[in-house]
A and B are shown apart, each in its own frame.
Chain A
Amino acid sequence: MRRVLLVEDSASMRAFVRAALTASSALGELEIAEAQSGFDALRLLPRGAWDLVITDINMPDINGLELISFIRKNEAHKTTPILIISTASSERDRERGMTLGASGYLVKPFTAEALAAHALEQMGAASASGAHA
């Protein structure tokens, strides 16, 4: 089963993302771990390999950019795809995220289909094993 780390401080947003990913048949069965803060993410990260990290940028304390920078510094997660989800107003921050090594971004609000399509683009379809690109 492939593993997704979802970092987002809004519970409703997490629920939406989870529902969107779970509903996509192309993604296959996923284990989705939810982190509600940058710290949570730091705690979860060392627990094995991840096939995709989806992160918000605007979070208290450890923001998304810091998280991306940290993930990229880490040998074990150097190639893990990172998808940024942020609002249109965070354009500058989103660009920074891409410079720091994020693999793609999606502007909030987005539809469930758009999210699933982005996730698919990053991870590949369920049948393709070892989806790290």
Chain B
Amino acid sequence: MPEITDKAREEFFSEAQEIIETLSRNLLALDTAQKSGKEDPSLINEAFRAVHTLKGLAGLFGAVRLGAFSHRLEDLLDDLRLGRMDLRPEVLDVLFSTVDAYGRILTIEKEGRDEDLPSVDDLFRRLDKLGAAVERSASPVGGYELDPGMLAVLTEYEEHRLRSNIEQNLLLYRLRVQFDLSTIDKALDDMKERAKRHGEIITYLPTGEATGVDAIELDLLLASRDDLATLIGSLGADNIVIEEIPRRRRSVPPSVVPLRGSVAGAMSPKQEFDRLAEAAAGEVAPSLRSLTQTVRVDIRKLDHLMNIVGELSIVRSSLSRIAERLRGEGSRQLATELMRLHRNFDRRLGEMQDGILEVRMVPLGQVFDRLARVVRQISRDLGKEIRLVITGAETEIDKLIVEELSDPLMHMIRNAIDHGIESAERRAEVGKPLAGTIALNAFQKGNHVMIEVEDDGRGIDEEALIEKAVESGKIARHEASELVRDEILALIFVPGLSTREQVDDLSGRGVGMDIVKTNINKLGGVIDVHSETGIGTKMAITLPITLAIVSALLVRVHSQVFAIPLSTVSEALSFDPSQVRRVENREVITVRGSSLPICDLGRLLGLPEPIEDRRRRFVVVAALGSRRLGLVVDHLFGQEDIVIKPLGSSLSRVRGFAGATELGDQRVGLVLDSGAVIEEVLSGAEGPRERPSLLHG
């Protein structure tokens, strides 16, 4: 016989500990559910499963007392889950005491001690006093046209739940759902959450049909008060077929009249009361248990916390200034103490800031799952077979960004399938696999998250794109010949350009890509396009990890301090103002042989001209996509992480600023919206603007 190693024992104890923690969470959830008058039978079953597993393990690892205790508790939970005993408050009290008892038992088992545990003995007595279980007459399941194959796989518990639901005169539904095996856990969890609002899922049975290596079909048996139309409205999707399981004719009591398709008649006053109470209480909260482990937090609350952190950082700088003053006034010791306090404060504040940021982060998988469904739908609509390959779904990014990403990504994928991927015949001709591949890759790169949408389609037809741009007057013919490759590809983002002859429902008339670009820019991101004719197209989105904090370059223009988000800054250099040339009504300087349009921020913003003589000034090169603009400033302070606060509602429509930020010395600096400034200046819009603009001066 193989010896049970110390390592195995240790793992057993750590698993036992985890199971007890799960039990504790389940009991808490049960208590919450009980208090709010809602029932969730699955919670008792999970508590049972936890204790059941403990018992089995205790036997294997020779933990006799753990085994005996679990055995007794398992009996009780079995009675509870199978409806042979009611979950009375005193029963729940005893259950809560078991968590402590488990802790004690585990400790002595682990240390191999043999000592009396009076509190556990006492608990045994309390368990005995709870009274005997009552065998209930089981109601028949024969009243429904249930598939015998489904009935055969019900565990005792599932069968009990089925009977219990039938007793309550609920409707039974069969949900036939197709899942991708690689994502089934998450997909099923989503499904469960939604189904729970309508009733109870009794079992999940793999049908064994229409399944391949990577897909599976499950039959879900759902008991619900809602009618078929309601369920289809709420749960319907193209991978789900919902059918009501009809009652056998003869067994329907004549008095039963369906009531708005919900609860049938013949209810006891108590049942009627419960139904009304539930209806009044609104929807059953999805998964009470998850409440104990996770909390949903309105992102605005996190923004608020982040603002407080910003304000605290101002307190922090005041502290250090006071310390300096004290030192100057000769109170060295006090100054040193204050500095120590300041360092400690500084460190904790940093931790707090990191902590808040971390809470905002969610995996991109959330939006990728949604996109997977879209791909399935589009490929079916267009009759193109598509293989979707996702990598990096675990990459985390700010919740607010995730919310805003869904639409742009969906447009990009639609475009890729519609315009990029060739028809099956065409692919066969050029020797590509018949199924087109769309790859969705995400990864973190420094302070940015990269998302790539890649297809193995025909690539962007540059000739056609130029032709279209010229035809529609977006560029002049003579300009067209001077465009470099990246500039040509960037034409897909010009409003109103599409390379497809026919307008179709799916991608429309190139409406997608310019909006995609705008939306990505709004998030402080950029898109780059790479394309090879005949091989495919790749669009790479670069996004900041969070919107709450940005790294910014602090600059001074005349006497004002501004922050320029670093994500839009490609470089900063000093230059001699006398080198400025004028080309086509625009100021330019030469940087490493090529000309860079510049813009004097002070003049643009209408700041009063300073008296100081400025022989040497600085230019901050802001770049978004392929466009570059040099912003002329007087002084560079360096880089700092800033918290952006929104401008008040009266200023929110002003273009050119992304918000305001508090600077360490209790002053407020405006955060430049580089994207808007670039658009404004480079579009050469000297005429009247549609929107009020600070840039107008």
A: residues with CB less than 8 A from B are: 9-13, 15-16, 19-20, 22-23, 37, 39, 42-43, 46, 57-58, 60-63, 65-70, 73-74, 87, 89-90, 92-93, 96, 99-100, 108-113
CB of B400 within 8 A of chain A? no
Q: Is the CB of B272 closer than 8 A to any CB of chain A?
A: no
Q: Assess A69 versus B152: contact at CB under 8 Å? Given A87-B52, A112-B1.
A: yes
A-B contact pairs, 9 of them (CB 8 A): A12-B57, A16-B60, A22-B2, A39-B188, A61-B188, A63-B203, A69-B149, A90-B156, A111-B1
A57's partner among B2, B155, B204 (CB-CB below 8 A) is: B155
A59 to B121, CA, bound (A): 31
Interface-lining segment among B8-16, B130-138, B650-658, B683-691:
B8-16
A23-B1, A66-B205, A100-B152 known; A13 vs B57 contact (CB < 8 Å): yes
**Minimum CB distance partner of A57 in chain B:** B155
**CB pair A42 B49 closer than 8 Å:** no
Is B206 in contact with A12, judged by CB distance below 8 angstroms?
Answer: no
User: In the complex, how many angstroms separate the beta carbon of A114 from the nearest chain B beta carbon?
Assistant: 10
Determine the distance from Cα of A112 to Cα of B59 in the docked complex, in whole angstroms: 12
* Contact status of A11 and B15, CB under 8 A, knowing A42-B216, A58-B52: yes
What is the bound-complex CA distance between A112 and B155, given in angstroms? 27
Known: A39-B184, A70-B208. A58 touches B155 (CB 8 A): yes
Check B61–A12 contact: CB distance below 8 A.
yes
- Give Cα A70 to B60, complex, Å: 29
Instruction: State whether A89 touches B1 (Cβ < 8 A).
Output: no
User: Does B596 reach chain A (CB closer than 8 Å)?
Assistant: no
Are A73 and B208 in contact, with the CB atoms below 8 A?
yes
Bound complex: CA A56 to CA B56 (Å) = 11
Complexed CA–CA distance, A69 and B208 (Å): 9
Q: Are A93 and B156 in contact (CB under 8 A)?
A: yes
- Contact residues in B for A110 (Cβ distance below 8 Å): 60
Contact check: which of A65, A74, A112 meets B153 at CB < 8 Å?
A65
**Does B204 lie within 8 Å of A66, measured CB to CB?**
yes
Q: Does B181 reach chain A (CB closer than 8 Å)?
A: yes
Report how far A109 CA is from B156 CA in the complex, Å.
Answer: 21
Q: A87 touching B55 by the CB < 8 A rule?
A: yes
Nearest CB of chain B from residue A14's CB, rounded to whole Å: 10
Instruction: Report which of A11, A43, A108 forms a contact with B11, defined as CB distance below 8 A.
Output: A11
Is B53 positioned at the interface, with any CB of A under 8 Å from its CB? yes
Total number of residue pairs linking A and B with CB closer than 8 Å: 111
B185 at the A interface (CB under 8 A): yes
Whether, in the assembled complex, B213 has its beta carbon less than 8 Å from a beta carbon of chain A, the answer is yes
Instruction: Known contacts A39-B184, A89-B74, A92-B156; decide if A62 and B204 are in contact (CB<8 Å).
Output: yes
Chain B residues with CB below 8 A from A9, complex form? 53
Shortest distance from the beta carbon of A63 to any chain B beta carbon, whole Å: 6
Contact across chains for A109 and B149 when beta carbons are under 8 A apart: no
Which residue of chain B has the shortest Cβ distance to A63 in the bound complex?
Answer: B155
Task: Determine the chain B residues whose CB is within 8 A of the CB of A92 once the complex forms.
Answer: 156
Tell me how far the C-beta of B499 lies from the nearest C-beta in chain A, rounded to whole angstroms.
Answer: 41
Query: Which residues from B are CB-within-8-Å of A100?
Result: 152-153
CA distance A17 to B256 in the complex (A): 53
Q: Enumerate chain A residues within 8 angstroms of B58, measured Cβ to Cβ.
A: 109
Task: Indicate whether A87 sits within 8 Å of B56 (C-beta atoms), given known contacts A15-B8, A42-B206, A69-B205.
Answer: yes
Chain A residue with Cβ nearest B208: A73
- Is B154 positioned at the interface, with any CB of A under 8 Å from its CB? yes
Nearest A residue (CB) for B201: A61
Specify the chain B residue showing the minimal Cβ separation from A17.
B60
Contact count band on B? 35 or more
Contact between chains at A66 and B203 (CB < 8 Å):
yes
B78 within 8 A of A: yes
> When the two chains form the complex, which single residue of B1, B57, B153, B203 contacts A10, counting CB atoms closer than 8 Å?
B57
Which B residues from 34 to 64 make CB contacts under 8 A with A?
46, 49, 52-53, 55-61
Distance in Å: Cβ of A5 to nearest Cβ of chain B:
15
Evaluate contact between A42 and B181: CB separation under 8 angstroms. yes
Q: Give the complex CA separation of A70 and B213 in angstroms.
A: 14
Partner of B60, one of A13, A58, A67: A13
Which residues of B lie under 8 Å from residue A68 when comparing CB positions? 153
Q: Mark B189-216, 1 if CB is under 8 A from A, else 0.
A: 0000000000000011111100001001
B459 CB, nearest partner CB in chain A, Å: 35
Q: Quick check: A12 and B205 within 8 Å, CB to CB? A: no
B156 surroundings in chain A (CB, below 8 A): 90, 92-93
How far does the Cβ of B545 sit from chain A's closest Cβ, in whole Å? Answer: 32
A108 touches B60 (CB 8 A): yes
Q: Are A46 and B205 CB-contacts (below 8 A) given A12-B61, A23-B1, A65-B154? A: no
Per the bound structure, the CA–CA distance linking A113 and B12 in Å amounts to 20
Contacts of B11 in A (CB 8 A): 11-12, 15
Residues of B within 8 A of A20 (CB): 2
CB distance from B92 to the nearest CB of A (A): 22
Rounded to whole angstroms, the CA-CA distance of A26 and B651 in the bound complex is 81
A73 nearest CB across to chain B (Å): 3
Q: Is A39's CB under 8 angstroms from B2's CB?
A: no
The smallest beta-carbon distance between B527 and chain A, in angstroms, is: 36
Residue of chain B at shortest CB distance from A22: B2
A12 touches B15 (CB 8 A): yes
Contacts of B15 in A (CB 8 A): 10-12
Q: What residues of chain B lie closer than 8 Å to A58, measured between beta carbons?
A: 49, 52-53, 155
Bound CA–CA A109/B152 (angstroms): 26
Please state if B56 and A13 are interface contacts (CB–CB under 8 Å). yes
Which residues of chain A are near B67, meaning CB under 8 Å?
A: 109
CA distance A9 to B53 in the complex (A): 9
When the two chains form their complex, are residues A96 and B1 in contact, meaning their CB atoms are under 8 A apart?
no
B188 touches A19 (CB 8 A): no
A residues near B1, Cβ cutoff 8 Å? 23, 111-113
With a cutoff of 8 Å between Cβ atoms, the chain B residues found around residue A13 in the complex are 53, 56-57, 60
Asked if B8 and A12 sit within 8 Å, CB to CB, the answer is yes
- Cα–Cα, bound, A129→B127 (Å): 53
Cα A66 to Cα B205 with chains together (Å): 6
A109 and B154 contacting across the interface, CB-CB below 8 Å: no
CB of A60 to closest CB in B, whole Å: 7
Q: Chain A nearest CB: distance from B416 CB in Å?
A: 28
B3-28 toward A: CB 8 Å interface, digit per residue (1/0)? Answer: 01000100110011000000000000
Q: Which 6 A-B pairs have the closest CB atoms?
A: A109-B59, A73-B208, A23-B2, A108-B56, A70-B206, A12-B12
A19: contacting residue among B2, B75, B184, B208, CB under 8 A: B2
Q: A65-B152, A96-B153 are in contact. List 16 more A-B contacts (CB 8 A).
A: A10-B57, A12-B15, A13-B56, A22-B2, A23-B2, A39-B188, A57-B155, A65-B154, A67-B206, A69-B153, A69-B206, A70-B208, A89-B75, A96-B155, A108-B59, A111-B1
Interface centre among B55, B74, B182 (most CB of A within 10 A): B55
- Say whether, besides A58-B49, A65-B154, A93-B156, A10 and B2 are in contact (CB < 8 Å): no
Q: Which residues of B contact A67 (CB under 8 A)?
A: 206
Q: Are B155 and A65 in contact (CB under 8 A)?
A: yes
Residue of B at shortest CB range from A42? B216
What residues of B have a CB within 8 angstroms of the CB of A37 in the complex? 185
Distance of A92 Cα from B78 Cα, bound (Å): 13
Greatest chain B CB density within 10 A among A57, A62, A112 is at A62
- Chain B residue numbers with a CB within 8 Å of A62 are 204, 206
Q: How far is the CA of A95 from the CA of B182 in the complex (A)?
A: 32
Closest chain-B Cβ to A19's Cβ sits at a distance in Å of 5
How far, in angstroms, from A71 to B15 measured CA to CA in the complex?
Answer: 29
Residue of B nearest to A20 (CB): B2
